[in-house]
Structure 1
Amino acid sequence: MRSIRSLRTPGGLSLRLDVRAVAVVALLLLAALTASVVLIGTGDFPIPAADVLKTLLGDGNAGQEFIVNELRLPRVLVGLLVGASLGLGGALFQAISRNPLGSPDVLGLGQGATAGALVMIVLFSGSATQVTLGALAGGLATGFAIYLLAWKRGVHGYRLVLVGIGVSAIVTAVNGYLLTVSDIIDAARAVVWMTGSLDGRDWEQVWPLLGLCAVLVPLVLANARGLRMMEMGDDVSYALGVRVERVRLLLMIAAVLLTATATAAAGPVSFVALTAPQLARRLTRSPGPNLLPSLCMGAALLVTADWVSQRTFGAGQLPVGVVTGVLGGVYLLWLLVTERKAGRI
């Protein structure tokens, strides 16, 4: 049973507060932070959670400060930011397309970022920075191409998904060709990147992600009301005063930037953008895009998956993209079976 409370500000504005959604966001934040502390203490040199907290507060010894602040904290922050970006980007794509499969994994943005990275690896033997920039450029170019191809007096949700699937197939074929013409060393390097991993991430990946999230997250949340109105249809949204195409284009750009930057930082980590919004919606039991719960769910999912991979196989042995792929695939199969039993597919 959902609990909605109305709050009135001193200026006379009335705000509706979904108590269950707020509680879910708080619990997901707590889960993400707890998993982060545990993850920082996991590795070849284990550190108890209490000592991790002391070190983060500046009360650890020199060895603990080096391990926590220089080696493990940047990796965990990249995981939190990448998960949050993918969760929010997936919620935006699903809300804009009005389709639960309208995620970056299906629309081909991950494949586009992979193509940009492969071009830098295979054709130019680029550095880590150049590979990151190539992935970002590839993701942005793919998102721009999908939007242009799907445009016909506006962007219809199903047309967006169908165009995205077609573009994804083309870009996947290009990626396969780039791998076949590369030498064995570049191919091995490319395959590792394509799996999606947080291994070796440092502060150079943290700051661009943090800056982008600081700009885009408030921008997206400020347009959440318009996005929720758009789920009722364009005609109704226009009647309610929403500038539909402007809001849709703005949020599409934000979603592409979030997804492309996250992919550039950690590789194409699969299924987080697909599953995080749906899991968040099931927890909140609230209609609408559930942007903030999806963001928190994505962050919690990715750091938990990274902890599972390290705890099970050791640091650097199993990329986090493998864990999210397995868990996401199992969830997708369960979802399809459930929807079929309910007669919706």
Structure 2
Amino acid sequence: MSGQTAPSPVATPGAVTRHWRGRLRRRTAVVCGSLAALVLALFVTALLLGEAGLSPAEVLSAFTGSADRITAYVVLELRLPRAAAAAVVGACLGASGAVFQSVVRNPLASPDIVGITAGAGFAGVLAVLVLHLSGLGLSLAVIAGGLLAAVSVALLTWRRGIHGLRLVLVGIGVAALATALTSYLMTTVDVREAGVAYTWLVGSLAGASWPIVTITLVLAVAAFTALAARVRSLRALELGDATATALGFRVERDRIVVLLIATVLAAVAVGASGPIPFVALMAPQIARRLVGRTSVSLTAAAATGAAVVSAADLLAQYAVPGISFPVGVVTGVVGAPYLAWLLARSNRTRSGGTT
């Protein structure tokens, strides 16, 4: 009849799924773009601020080659490497933490909690104080230390696979052992050398230079490339072992590979700046809440980590006039209460009968 309106089409489950996937992709793109803009703004701010404050025109002149020698040195040799190191280190930590938390399916699983950064830190102190390594040799020693810690945790955790809670508990023990060995090593060297090592252990970007940034960037690009090649495996593992197996993935092999890549990312960051605490723990959680999805975006986690470290380094340098702190002090002040809140929330969830 002409007076009746045509019934609206019924949305099929496939159409609804495509609609929500499209919304998630758009929101992820907006979040990643906003985070990239924030990192760029912090990067530019790092070039402007300092004892010798510079205008945007003076910074630009340093890049074009028209600045005086002092301005060019301050921008290109002092501030630019540090700002670049902050962004790269933060991106490595953010992506590494996202992989650990996604694969293990535990919000407490991050390289600094499960002993990876502590093992890498011990290797770094050993390489500097005993072997007197620097540059690429130091970076490779730190990566080897992180991998050794990861293998130790995996072997002690393995019981027909790697399980989240056991991994965290064993990792805490391995971290305590690595920290104890580091403390003992520092008591056997000169006080001045121990002081330098301690500043590095807290997490500091004060020693950032172009050789360090170049080595870190090359290793980070290689690790990110390897991780990008394993994205399908990572997404399958997030669905659970049974689903991943049904889709044709070799669950334990793929889990070990992506965790080793995440370990390398964390160790690369430690080699450049020392163990910066809690960034790998916080960045994926922040990114997950910004994106609004159960599966965290690695790009969003990396961008969040870069923003967190860049902002923390600016606060460490300029929050208290005349006093410069290691960046790890700032992330520790923010991250420790966050960890306490995460533990309290986890306990309430378990007592409520859900996981």
Q: Give the TM interval when normalised to the shorter protein.
A: 0.7 to 0.9
Alignment match of 1:208 (pick from 215, 218, 224): 215
1:297 aligned residue: 304
Alignment partner of 1:197 is 2:204 = yes
2:55 aligned residue: 48
Alignment partner of 1:264 is 2:303 = no
Contact 1:227 1:289 in 2 (8 A): no
Normalising by structure 1, what TM-score? 0.88
Equivalent AA in structure 2 for residue 99 of structure 1? N
2:282 aligned residue: 275
In structure 2, the CA distance between the partners of 1:71 and 1:300, relative to structure 1 (3 Å rule), is same
1:19 aligned residue: 26
How far is the alpha carbon of 1:133 from its aligned partner? 4.3
2:10 aligned residue: none
Alignment match of 2:182 (pick from 175, 184, 195): 175
Q: What is the Cα-based RMSD across aligned positions, in Å?
A: 2.6
How far is the alpha carbon of 1:200 from its aligned partner? 2.3
How far is the alpha carbon of 1:327 from its aligned partner? 1.1
2:232 aligned residue: 225
How far is the alpha carbon of 1:228 from its aligned partner? 2.1
Structure 1 residues 244-253 or 318-327, which shifts more?
244-253
CA distance in 1, matches of 2:97, 2:56: 32
CA distance in 2, matches of 1:58, 1:17: 44
What are the superposed Cα offsets for residues 267-302 of structure 1, whole Å, 9 maximum, x if unpaired? 011111000000100111111132110000000110
What are the superposed Cα offsets for residues 161-188 of structure 1, whole Å, 9 maximum, x if unpaired? 2321221122222222223333322321
Q: Which runs of 5+ in 1 are unaligned?
A: 8-13
How far is the alpha carbon of 1:215 from its aligned partner? 2.0
What are the superposed Cα offsets for residues 136-192 of structure 1, whole Å, 9 maximum, x if unpaired? 332221122222333333322333223212211222222222233333223212211
2:315 aligned residue: 308
Equivalent AA in structure 2 for residue 298 of structure 1? G
In structure 2, the CA distance between the partners of 1:59 and 1:154, relative to structure 1 (3 Å rule), is farther
Contact 1:5 1:16 in 2 (8 A): no
In structure 2, the CA distance between the partners of 1:244 and 1:339, relative to structure 1 (3 Å rule), is closer
CA distance in 2, matches of 1:230, 1:326: 33
Alignment partner of 1:85 is 2:85 = no
Structure 1 residues 330-339 or 91-100, which shifts more?
330-339
CA distance in 1, matches of 2:64, 2:101: 39
In structure 2, the CA distance between the partners of 1:331 and 1:121, relative to structure 1 (3 Å rule), is same
User: Matched residue of 1:107: which SS?
Assistant: coil
Contact 1:80 1:300 in 2 (8 A): yes
What are the superposed Cα offsets for residues 175-220 of structure 1, whole Å, 9 maximum, x if unpaired? 2222333332232122111111000210111112211222222332
2:3 aligned residue: none
User: Matched residue of 2:319: which SS?
Assistant: helix
In structure 2, the CA distance between the partners of 1:237 and 1:60, relative to structure 1 (3 Å rule), is same
Contact 1:82 1:266 in 2 (8 A): yes
User: Matched residue of 2:208: which SS?
Assistant: coil
Contact 2:318 2:324 in 1 (8 A): no
How far is the alpha carbon of 1:17 from its aligned partner? 5.9
Contact 2:97 2:109 in 1 (8 A): yes
* Identical-pair percentage: 39
Normalising by structure 2, what TM-score? 0.86
1:100 aligned residue: 107
User: Matched residue of 1:268: which SS?
Assistant: coil
CA distance in 1, matches of 2:216, 2:55: 28
Alignment partner of 1:244 is 2:245 = no
Alignment partner of 1:322 is 2:319 = no
Contact 1:113 1:137 in 2 (8 A): yes
Structure 1 residues 35-44 or 335-344, which shifts more?
335-344
Flag the structure with larger Rg. 2
1:154 aligned residue: 161
How far is the alpha carbon of 1:58 from its aligned partner? 4.9
User: Matched residue of 1:106: which SS?
Assistant: coil
The count of corresponding residues between Structure 1 and Structure 2 is 335
CA distance in 2, matches of 1:19, 1:161: 34
1:33 aligned residue: 40
Q: Which runs of 5+ in 2 are unaligned?
A: 1-15
Alignment match of 1:165 (pick from 166, 172, 182): 172
Structure 1 residues 44-53 or 94-103, which shifts more?
44-53
User: Matched residue of 2:52: which SS?
Assistant: coil
1:145 aligned residue: 152
Contact 1:78 1:198 in 2 (8 A): yes
In structure 2, the CA distance between the partners of 1:15 and 1:243, relative to structure 1 (3 Å rule), is farther
Contact 1:121 1:131 in 2 (8 A): yes
How far is the alpha carbon of 1:59 from its aligned partner? 5.3
